[in-house]
């Protein structure tokens, strides 16, 4: 595409004066006039009505102006994006993440990020409550699993997989369940939901479970499972090391749901700040390399 004359045309259209447009562009009025005339000749269209006292845009000029203005705005945004990429992240960065996953996976990476960019002032709030980012002034939230409908923008960082498992001692005493219907015969260590999720032939099942321990802490449930007190369903970052060491045995793998997303959520913002964008990219890169279960990693 030939861009000659476009900047001059837009400047004249907005100033309604060749002289004023020339001053804004820092060039001569004669040069602005030549560029606009050449543009009109190239388009075979009259863009301005000229009189000795006034310059006004023609109907064709109005249409052309709207398109040119969008293009120039886009170029300006592109230049801003490149400038932001080259700038060093500074200022406050407010983040929220779930407690256990935040402690294990997010916080160490955030600390590494601050070590790389020491001019940042980071507030990391770990909670299992769903926080309204706009109301509370958060730049970024880390969320696990299926997302509710939201006006937030979501970027998938990595994935997690739910495991059902028990200790060898428990299985030696009570046997191993081989079907979902057998779970009611076992002591199921419960979290806050009261049901476990499975999938069979593409269909999702929420199975109600019962047991003598209920706790909202995954760490507590893992400890109970390791001590042979029952069967547990928890994400990989709680149980996978113990499965790999043989301290827990993975069960009902044929009914395991596909991996689900771990997400970075942030408010809709036309100009995402460099510090937030850099942190999201850093988390996605680091978590994507460290998570052992990346077969279903989304984009």
For 144-202, the pLDDT digits (tens) are 887 776 677 888 898 889 999 999 999 999 999 999 999 999 999 998 888 899 998 88
- Secondary structure (3-state) at 64: helix
Confidence of residue 297 (pLDDT cuts 50, 70, 90): very low
Q: What is the pLDDT of residue 184?
A: 92
Fold of 162-255: D-Maltodextrin-Binding Protein; domain 2 (3.40.190)
pLDDT greater at residue 157 or residue 136: 157
Average pLDDT, the chain: 87
The segment(s) of the chain belonging to CATH 3.40.190.10 are: 91-160+260-290, 162-255
Over 50: is that where the pLDDT of 262 sits? yes
Overall CATH class of domain 6-86: mainly alpha
Query: CA of 43: how far to CAs of 6, 14, 85, 98, in Å?
Result: 11, 20, 37, 58
For the stretch 90-127, pLDDT in tens is 788 899 999 888 998 999 999 999 999 998 899 999 99
For residue 251, with 0-12 CB atoms within 10 Å meaning exposed, 13-18 middle and 19 or more buried, which class applies?
Answer: buried
Domain 91-160+260-290 part of CATH 3.40.190.10: yes
Domain with CATH 1.10.10.10 in the chain: 6-86
Report the alpha-carbon distance of residue 129 to residue 163 in Å, rounded.
23
What digits encode the pLDDT tens for the residues 174-188? 999 999 999 999 999
DSSP conformational letter for 214: B
Q: What is the pLDDT of residue 33?
A: 93
Work out the angle at residue 159's Cα, subtended by the Cα atoms of residues 200 and 257, and round it to the nearest 5 degrees: 5
Residue 227: per-residue pLDDT: 97
Contact 142, 110 (CB under 8 A): no
Report the percent of the chain where pLDDT is more than 90. 55
pTM for this prediction: 0.58
What pLDDT does residue 86 have?
A: 55
First to last CA, the chain: 33
């Amino acid at each position: 595409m030939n861009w000659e004359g476009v900047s001059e045309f837009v400047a004249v259209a907005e100033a309604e004066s060749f002289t004023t447009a020339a001053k804004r562009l820092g060039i001569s009025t004669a040069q602005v006039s030549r560029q606009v005339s050449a543009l009109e000749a190239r388009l075979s269209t009259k863009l301005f009505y000229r009189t000795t006292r006034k310059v006004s845009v023609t109907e064709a000029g109005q249409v052309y102006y709207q398109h040119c203005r969008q293009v120039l705005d886009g170029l300006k945004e592109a230049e801003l994006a490149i400038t932001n990429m080259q700038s060093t992240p500074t200022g406050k960065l407010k983040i929220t993440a779930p407690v256990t996953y935040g402690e294990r996976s997010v916080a160490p990476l955030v600390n590494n990020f601050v070590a790389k960019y020491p001019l940042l002032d980071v507030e990391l709030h770990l909670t299992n409550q769903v926080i309204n980012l706009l109301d509370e002034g958060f730049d970024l939230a880390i969320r696990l699993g299926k997302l509710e409908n939201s006006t937030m923008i979501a970027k998938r960082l990595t994935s997690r997989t739910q495991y059902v498992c028990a200790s060898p001692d428990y299985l030696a005493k009570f046997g191993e369940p081989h079907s979902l219907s057998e779970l009611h015969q076992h002591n199921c260590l419960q979290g806050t939901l009261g049901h476990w999720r499975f999938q069979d032939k593409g269909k999702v099942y929420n199975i109600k479970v019962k047991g003598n321990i209920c706790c909202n802490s995954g760490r507590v449930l893992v400890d109970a499972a390791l001590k042979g007190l029952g069967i547990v369903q928890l994400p990989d970052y709680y149980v996978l090391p113990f499965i790999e060491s043989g301290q827990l045995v993975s069960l009902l793998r044929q009914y395991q749901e596909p991996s689900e997303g771990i997400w970075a959520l942030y408010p809709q913002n036309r100009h995402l700040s460099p510090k937030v964008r850099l942190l999201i990219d850093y988390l996605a890169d680091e978590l994507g390399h460290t998570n052992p279960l990346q077969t279903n990693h989304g984009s």
